[in-house]
Amino acid sequence: MTTWLHSTDFARYALIPEEILPTWEGTEADEVIDAYVSALRSAGHDILTLGAEPLPVTWIAESLTFARWCHADDDTGLIPAVRAAASADGWKDVLSLTLGGRYVLADAAYEADRILASLRDAHRPAEALRVELTPGRYRVQSLTIDPDPNTQFMLDRLLPE
């Protein structure tokens, strides 16, 4: 079962390095609110941001892909659709950035205390997801897929350079 982050107050998610999470104030990504995929620097780290619309998001570790739910009855076909899209034409290069280590994907506007509380409390709906990446330079590519006429997901994958 895929865990989704279902809401964002800011219409922007941030991939925050765990080592800087305790000082995250929720205002760091204010400058990139209008872009679907962007990056910013904070405390010497590249931070990937996803947004511009308040779409639910999930992390698919096996394919290093973030999926945003545009419309679908459910997500049962997501993993096969992502696998099929891996070799598809149409992926657009968006940016490159340096990543590596342990991260937390959360609403960019949430302060550290709220994100950390979400990670500790498994009984409430998820507001943060853990992401672990091998250190290195990554190219971010985006693609919107329509596995069937009633389903659409936006994909943003990380490709090691």
Average pLDDT over residues 111-117: 93
> Which run of H or of E encompasses 113?
helix 112-120
Question: What pLDDT is stored for residue 29 in this prediction?
Answer: 73
Label the pairing between strands 45-51 and 57-60.
Answer: unpaired
**Per-residue pLDDT tens over the stretch 27-40:** 777 776 667 899 99
**pLDDT tens string 55-104:** 899 999 999 999 999 998 889 899 999 999 999 999 999 999 999 999 99
Residue 11 has pLDDT above 90, yes or no: no
Reported pTM: 0.93
- And the tokens for 125? 């709906």
pLDDT of residue 101: 96
SS (H, E, C) 53-88: CCCCEEEEHHHCEEEEEEECCCCCCHHHHHHHHCCC
Residues 153-159: what's their mean pLDDT?
97
Nearest of 45, 41, 47, 64 to residue 12 by alpha carbon = 47
Top-confidence residue, 153 or 8: 153
Q: Write out the two tokens for 64.
A: 């290093």
pLDDT score for 1: 64
Nearest to 90 by CA among 15, 12, 157: 157
What radius of gyration, in Å, describes the C-alpha atoms of the chain?
A: 15
SS3 1: coil
Q: Residue 24 and residue 89: Cα distance in Å, rounded?
A: 37
Q: What is the pLDDT of residue 61?
A: 96
Instruction: Give residue 52's pLDDT.
Output: 76
Residues 6+ apart with CB under 8 A from 113: none
Which amino acid belongs to residue 94? V
Can you read off the two tokens belonging to residue 103?
Answer: 């991260």
